[in-house]
Structure 1
Amino acid sequence: MTIDRWIAEKAAAQPEKPALIFEGAALNYGDVAGEIDARAEALRRAGVGRGDRVAWYGLNAPEVFILLFACARLGAMLVPLNWRLAEGEIAQIVESCDPTLVIHDEDFAGAARHLSGRRVVAAGAPLPEGRPAKAEAAGEDDPLLIVYTSGSTGRPKGAVLTQAALVANAAMSVEAHAMTPDDTVLNVLPLFHVGGLNILCTPAFSIGATVELHRRFEPAAMAQALARVDLAITVPTVLQAVMETPQWAAADLSRLRAISIGSTDVPVPLIEAVHARGVPVIQIYGATETAPFAIYQRVEEAHATVGSIGRAGSACEIRLVKGDGSDAGPGESGEIWVKGPNTLIEYWRAPEETAAAMRDGWFRTGDVARRDENGLYWFRDRIKHVIISGGENIYPAEIERVLRDHPGIREVAVVGRPDAKWGEVPVAVVVRADPALTPESVLGHLEGRIARYKRPRVVVFVEALPRNAMGKVVAAEVRRMIASMHAGENAET
C-alpha cells in the first residue's frame, strides 16, 4: 500500500470534501485525486519510475502535495529544494540527488534554468515525454522523501524518509493534536522542511481533514487565518511576528483548538501569552531525520506541562544516553536517541555520515534532554552548543531562557568563546528592545537565577541574530561573529 491511498479513499467516500484551500480557492478530494492520477501517469511517461527522484524548486503550492502523492504511487522520491539557499548551494543539492526532473514555479524560473544538464520544467507545463518508466508495485517501505539538512562537513546531506515514516509520523500528529476529519489546519511554514510538510499537512490528508496552505508567511495574513482554522503550526519567530500585528489582537480565536510549535527552544513567555488568549500551545520535538515527530505534548496536557517538550512518541522509542553510553535516569541529562519507523533509513549516498548518526537502529539526534519522574522530557541544548568551561558543562539554552525574561532584551543567543584559563567562556549576544540597556543590567538579571560559573563573561550588543529558514539562530555564525570582534570592544566582567 502507498500513501496516495489516503487521497483516493477520501475521494471515493466524500469527493466534494475540501482537501486544500490555497489563495482563496478550494480543491476538493475528488479534484486532488484526479490531479494525482494525471501527474503520476505524466511522470511515468517522462521516465520517472521506482527509485527515481523529482525535485521541486518553488514556494508553497498544491503542486508539492500532488507531486508527493504521485511519487508515492510510482515508488519515486520527492526532493523539495530550499529556495532560500544560494544558487550554488541548490546546484550542489541537485547534483547530489540527481533528479530525473526539476519542476519549478514562476518565482524560480531564472534560477532553475542555470541547473545545467537537467530536465527543467515549469509547474503547470506538460511534462516532456521520454522513455516511459516501467510500472512497478510500490509500498510503504519505499523511500519517498529526501530532505536536505546541514552536514557536519559543511555539505548538505539528504535525509531519506520512507512512506512508512510518513504513516508513523501522521499517527503521532493525529494523537498529539486530537485531530479529526472535520478539522481545518493551517500551514505557513515552507514545504522544503519536514515541519511544513509533516507536522499538520500530511497528517491531515491521512484522515481526510482540510489543509489551508499559504504560499509564504505573512504575519497579518496568518493572524487573520487563525480565526478560521482549528489547528496551526508555527515556530517562535513566526509566532512572535504574528503577535505583534493588530490583526492578532483583533482575531476571534474561539475556533482555534491548539497551536503547535517547534524547530527550536521555545520561550515560555511566548507560550503563556498565547495561553492568555485561551489557546493551548503544544511543543513538538524532532528532527528532519525523524519526519519530524519524536517527542510531543498532547493538547490535553498543554496547560499543565508548560516548558516541557512532552512525552515519547507513540510510534517510536526514545532513549537518553549519557556520555559513557549508559541510559540516563530520571532527572539526569542525556543525548536523545530515537528508534522507529519514523526515522531516516540513510543519508542519501553518504554512508559515513549515516554510520555516524545511527547506532543499532537508533538515530542520535545530537540534542540533550532530561526526563522527569512523570515521563515528561525537558530540552536542554544541542550537544555541539554545550560550553565546557573549567570542566563544567554549561547549556546556553538555560541562560537564554532566563535572559529572555528581561524586558530590555528582544533576542539573545549565548555561545562559547575560547579562553586561555577556562577553555571556553560563555558570551551573551543580545538584540536590545531598550536602547539604554547596559551589560550590567543584562548580567544583573542572572544574579541568583543561575550559578555564577554559568554567567557570561562578555555581553555583545548586535542589531540582529543570524537565522535559518525555520527561524533557528545559526550558532556557528554567531560564534564566527564573536571571533571577529576584538575583545576590548566588548563589556568584560
Structure 2
Amino acid sequence: MAVAGSDPSTLAQVLQQQARLRGDAVALHFGDERITYAALDTRARRVATLLSRQWGVQAGDRVAWLGLNDPALLVLLFALARVGAMLLPLNIRLAPAEWQQQLDACTPRCLVHDAAFAEAARALGGAHALHATAELDAAVDPMDEDRAAASVPALLVFTSGTTSRPKAAVHTQANLVANMRIAAQVQAITPRDRVLTVLPLFHVGGLCIQTLPALSAGATVLLQPRFMPDATLQAIAGERPTLTLQVPATLKALIEHPAWANTDLSSLRAVWAGSSLLPASLLHAFHARGVPVCNVYGATETGPFSIALGPQEAMQRVGSCGWPAPGVEMQLAEGGEVWVRGPNVVARYWPDEPALDAQGWFHTGDLATRDADGACTIVGRAKDLIISGGENIHPAEIEAVLGEHPAVLECAAFGLPDAHWGEAVAVAVVLRPASGASDDELRAHLAARLARFKLPRHWLRVEQLPKTALGKVQRHELVKRLRG
C-alpha cells in the first residue's frame, strides 16, 4: 500500500489515491454513464476478485481485449494490475490472422470482447477462454490487496511492424506510472480538466498520452467508442472538453467536416497531436481559430510521452516536436537518429527480447535535427532515408511540399534502386477527386520549391497509399509496384 501523501508506484495505488481524494468526482463519462472515481476503484477491485477467484487469472498471466473503447477496458487494466497480470489489447483494425498471431505469441488465459466483436472473438482459435464485457458487471466482492509491485508487467502492446515483425512491448507498472506523471506534468492536467478521448485505447497513444494521465490527475475523461468527426465536433461543442488528443488523419477529418466552421472550440485550451510529422496546413486551421496544436513525439516502446512541444511554443514552432519531457533523456546519435532513455521506456519485448542497448537507450529509428535551444524536428525514418548520388534526401521534406498543392490528397516519397544514382527519388500521389492536375503541374510545383537533386524521377498515381493498421505508409509496397 502507498504511504499517505506519497507518490503512487502501482496502478492500483493511482486509482486508490484519486478515489480517496475525490471519490465523488466523475472519472469517466461514457454516453449516458458517469462513473465516479470511487465507483471506478470499486469496479476494478471487484473485477480483480472475479479474475483471480473465478477466471483463474494469476500473477504473470495475460488477458486479451477485443473491442471498441469502453470503460470496461480501463476497469480491466486496473483490475489486472492489482492481480499482477497483463492486459493485451488487440488492434481492431487488424485482420483475424494477425489477431491469431498475437494470441499465439502471448498465450493469454482468456479473451474479453464487447458485443461488436463477439462473433470475431468466437472465430479465433486457441486455448483461451472467452468472456463478454457484461460478465465483468457480475463481479461483487472487492479485492483489498494489491498483489503487484512497480516492476511487474501490466500492459503488452504490439508495435506496427514497419521494419520487422510486430513485437509486443512490455510496459511495467513503473513504466506506466512514470508516463502518467510525465504526461500530466507537461500537459498541466488538473482535476478541473475535461479530456476528450476518441482515439483507440488499444494503442499507447489513445491510452497513455492523455487518458491514463488524466485519471492519475483526477480529471474527467469524456470517452467515446471510436473516432467519428461529427460525434467529436458535437462533443467539443456540447461537453466542453479542455483537452483532446488527435492524429493527422483525424485533424483532417475534423477540418473538412461541414460542421467545422460553426463548432465552438472555445473550451479547448489545447489540442495535442500524437505524431512526429504534422502537416502545417492542419495546424494552421486550428491556430487560426485560437487553439494551439501541441505535438508529442514517442513510440510504442517509449511510453510514449518522450518529446513534447507545449502550447506556449506551438503556434511559433510549427513542425517542431519540442524538447525532451521531464525525466526523459534524448540524444541524436550518428546520422541524427533519435535515442531515448527514461523511466517510461520499456526494457524488453515479449517474452524476453531486449528493447534497449547496453546503456539503456532505445533506438527509435527516427531521424531528427536539433535547434540551438535544443528543440527537435523529426525529418523522417532512418530506413526511409533516400541516398541519391551521395546526397541524403528525407521523404518528409518532399511530402510536405507536394502536400501543399491543392490537388494532392496524400503522397509518399521513397527511394527506388538505380544503377547510376544508387537510389532515385520516386513519389506516389493520391489526387483529390476531379482535381485534373497533371504530373507536369506537380513537377513544376516541386521544382519551384526544392533543390534539383530532391526532385522525383519516378511518379506513381495510386487510388490510395498502402498502409499498416496504424496508418503508417508501407513504402516497400510502393517500390514493388514501380519495379513490378
Short-chain TM bin: over 0.9
**What amino acid is aligned across from residue 319 of structure 2 in structure 1?**
G
Counterparts in 2 of 1:46-85, with a 5 A limit?
A: 46-85=55-94
Is there any run of 5+ residues in structure 2 with no aligned partner, and where? 1-8
Contact 1:42 1:127 in 2 (8 A): no
Aligned residue for 1:145?
A: 155
Counterparts in 2 of 1:31-430, with a 5 A limit?
A: 31-45=39-53, 46-113=55-122, 114-125=124-135, 137-151=147-161, 154-227=164-237, 228-323=240-335, 334-349=336-351, 351=353, 354=354, 358-430=357-429
**What amino acid is aligned across from residue 438 of structure 2 in structure 1?**
T
CA drift at 1:110: 1.8
Deviations 1:61-107 (A, max 9, x none): 11111011111212211110112111111111011111111111112
Aligned residue pairs total 467
Report which stretch shifted further, 311-320 or 168-177: 168-177
Aligned residue for 2:15?
A: 7
Contact 1:417 1:426 in 2 (8 A): yes
Deviations 1:383-431 (A, max 9, x none): 1111111222111001111111112211111111111211211111111
**What amino acid is aligned across from residue 90 of structure 2 in structure 1?**
L
Question: Does the C-alpha gap of structure 1 residues 305 and 74 become closer, same or farther in structure 2, counting only changes over 3 Å?
Answer: same
**What amino acid is aligned across from residue 422 of structure 1 in structure 2?**
W
Aligned residue for 2:481?
A: 481
Question: Does the C-alpha gap of structure 1 residues 350 and 459 become closer, same or farther in structure 2, counting only changes over 3 Å?
Answer: farther
**What amino acid is aligned across from residue 370 of structure 2 in structure 1?**
R
Whole-Å separation in 2 of the counterparts to 1:127 and 1:245: 37
Question: Does the C-alpha gap of structure 1 residues 468 and 26 become closer, same or farther in structure 2, counting only changes over 3 Å?
Answer: farther
Whole-Å separation in 2 of the counterparts to 1:315 and 1:55: 31
CA drift at 1:264: 4.6
Structure 2 residue matching 1:211: 3-state secondary structure: strand
Deviations 1:39-72 (A, max 9, x none): 1111111222221111111111111110111112
Whole-Å separation in 1 of the counterparts to 2:23 and 2:319: 41
Structure 1 residue matching 2:195: 3-state secondary structure: strand
Question: Does the C-alpha gap of structure 1 residues 468 and 221 become closer, same or farther in structure 2, counting only changes over 3 Å?
Answer: farther
Whole-Å separation in 2 of the counterparts to 1:476 and 1:257: 40
Contact 1:263 1:472 in 2 (8 A): no
Question: Does the C-alpha gap of structure 1 residues 452 and 358 become closer, same or farther in structure 2, counting only changes over 3 Å?
Answer: same
Deviations 1:350-403 (A, max 9, x none): 52xx36x53421000000001110111011100111111122211100111111
Whole-Å separation in 2 of the counterparts to 1:230 and 1:128: 34
Query: Does the alignment pair 1:30 with 2:38?
Result: yes
Question: Does the C-alpha gap of structure 1 residues 308 and 142 become closer, same or farther in structure 2, counting only changes over 3 Å?
Answer: same
Is there any run of 5+ residues in structure 1 with no aligned partner, and where? 324-333, 485-493
Moved over 4 A (4+): 126-129
Structure 2 residue matching 1:164: 3-state secondary structure: helix
Contact 1:141 1:163 in 2 (8 A): yes
Contact 1:224 1:248 in 2 (8 A): no
Report which stretch shifted further, 24-33 or 168-177: 168-177
Whole-Å separation in 1 of the counterparts to 2:469 and 2:197: 15
Contact 1:147 1:288 in 2 (8 A): yes
Structure 1 residue matching 2:244: 3-state secondary structure: strand
Aligned residue for 2:451?
A: 451
CA drift at 1:471: 3.2
Question: Does the C-alpha gap of structure 1 residues 170 and 153 become closer, same or farther in structure 2, counting only changes over 3 Å?
Answer: closer
CA drift at 1:128: 11
Question: Does the C-alpha gap of structure 1 residues 482 and 25 become closer, same or farther in structure 2, counting only changes over 3 Å?
Answer: farther
Whole-Å separation in 2 of the counterparts to 1:389 and 1:281: 35
Q: TM-score, normalised by structure 1?
A: 0.91
Whole-Å separation in 1 of the counterparts to 2:56 and 2:477: 42
Question: Does the C-alpha gap of structure 1 residues 127 and 47 become closer, same or farther in structure 2, counting only changes over 3 Å?
Answer: farther
Root mean square deviation, CA, Å = 2.0
Whole-Å separation in 1 of the counterparts to 2:255 and 2:357: 39
Contact 2:276 2:298 in 1 (8 A): no
CA drift at 1:13: 2.7
Question: Does the C-alpha gap of structure 1 residues 478 and 153 become closer, same or farther in structure 2, counting only changes over 3 Å?
Answer: closer
Contact 2:89 2:202 in 1 (8 A): yes
Contact 1:121 1:127 in 2 (8 A): no
Aligned residue for 1:489?
A: none
Whole-Å separation in 1 of the counterparts to 2:311 and 2:228: 26
Question: Does the C-alpha gap of structure 1 residues 190 and 480 become closer, same or farther in structure 2, counting only changes over 3 Å?
Answer: farther
Contact 2:72 2:136 in 1 (8 A): no
Whole-Å separation in 2 of the counterparts to 1:24 and 1:481: 49
Report which stretch shifted further, 298-307 or 359-368: 298-307
Contact 1:236 1:266 in 2 (8 A): yes
Aligned residue for 1:441?
A: 441
Structure 1 residue matching 2:154: 3-state secondary structure: strand
Contact 1:32 1:66 in 2 (8 A): yes
Whole-Å separation in 2 of the counterparts to 1:128 and 1:280: 44
Q: TM-score, normalised by structure 2?
A: 0.92
CA drift at 1:14: 2.2
